Structure 1
């Protein structure tokens, strides 16, 4: 079954929404972003989070000490590296902290997909490449680039997903998980009804595909 990650949670009601909808991953952004949270606020949000939902910390070119502190302080289940980390740096996080590591790859063309095979991590998050941005742009990339490509690790599909296109994305890419943030927001805040629609469409698609 395709997993669902709701990213960029900032409010207590966001946590209530994902708890009710029983998503698989909750994402907390610690990098510069309109959705950024600091560690003390993230701790309060996570204290409210259902224990069955895995906690993902999103980092962009942040120091190893900060990421270590976030893992220890918050009990993260997944580190999502969205910056310019080398394969060696990414692999070191998994060895040091004993958590899953996902590396974001921004896809412009077929050559970018080669990075998925260079990084020794648990998962590759495929996102759209937008000049001057490390992610969270709400834009899709050309999923046709993935035709005939077989990956050796989990694929998490991000970039411009929303309730209207997520089923097409799953059918095309067949990812381990789909990652949504701005696609379930209204005026920059998580929208319960869009979140519910997104989850129901993914679950319904999975039921039909069985």
Structure 2
């Protein structure tokens, strides 16, 4: 069954929502974003999180020492990297499960995906000047035949209306959503509920 990550949680209400709806993963964003949280905020939110839900920290070119400090303090289950983190950087994180994000806009990006020194790749839309979190989708057919070489997490423009088709086409390990389950820029319980139901009904 396809796993589900709800990303960009920033309020205690968000934690209440996911505790009721039980996605597999939730994400705390530590990069520049309107959903960015401090380590203190994330620690407070994590205390109320259902222990069956895994935590993912989202980083963009974070200094290695800072990233390790945050990850240890929050006992993160997964580190999600969206920047230019190279092999020596990633090698220092061997104690953690690592997801590396790759922006996809054409076949030339698939080679970059295969070259990453991690098992799991989060594929997102490539938008100039942005490192994910744009809410825009890409041509999923570009991924035909790739998911058997890497575990694929599909992100970018997913919402309750298109996630079923996305899963049928890409067959990813997991789907990752943030803005697609928001109303007015905040998490919407009913959209999260519908998203999760659509995924689990496949």
Common fold: TM-score over 0.5:
yes
Distance 2:71 2:191 in 1: 30
Contact 1:79 1:99 in 2 (8 A): yes
Which secondary structure state, in structure 2, belongs to the residue aligned with residue 115 of structure 1? helix
Distance 2:24 2:12 in 1: 18
Contact 1:162 1:198 in 2 (8 A): yes
Contact 1:58 1:80 in 2 (8 A): yes
Aligned to 1:145: 142
Distance 1:159 1:165 in 2: 11
The unaligned stretches of length 5 or more in structure 2 are none
Q: Pairwise mapping of residues 156-167 of structure 1 onto structure 2 (< 5 A)?
A: 156-167=153-164
Contact 1:30 1:36 in 2 (8 A): yes
Aligned to 1:103: 100
Deviates more, 1:120-129 or 1:149-158: 149-158
CA deviations 1:172-201 (Å, max 9, x no partner) are 000000000000000100000100000011
The size of the alignment, in residue pairs, is: 202
Q: CA RMSD in A?
A: 1.0
Q: Where does structure 1 differ by over 2 angstroms across 4 or more consecutive aligned residues?
A: 87-92, 148-153
Contact 1:117 1:151 in 2 (8 A): no
Name the TM-score, length of structure 2 as normaliser: 0.97
Which secondary structure state, in structure 2, belongs to the residue aligned with residue 15 of structure 1? helix
Distance 1:174 1:91 in 2: 28
TM-superposed deviation, 1:90 = 2.3
The structure with the greater share of residues assigned to helix is: 1
Name the TM-score, length of structure 1 as normaliser: 0.93
TM-superposed deviation, 1:24 = 0.2
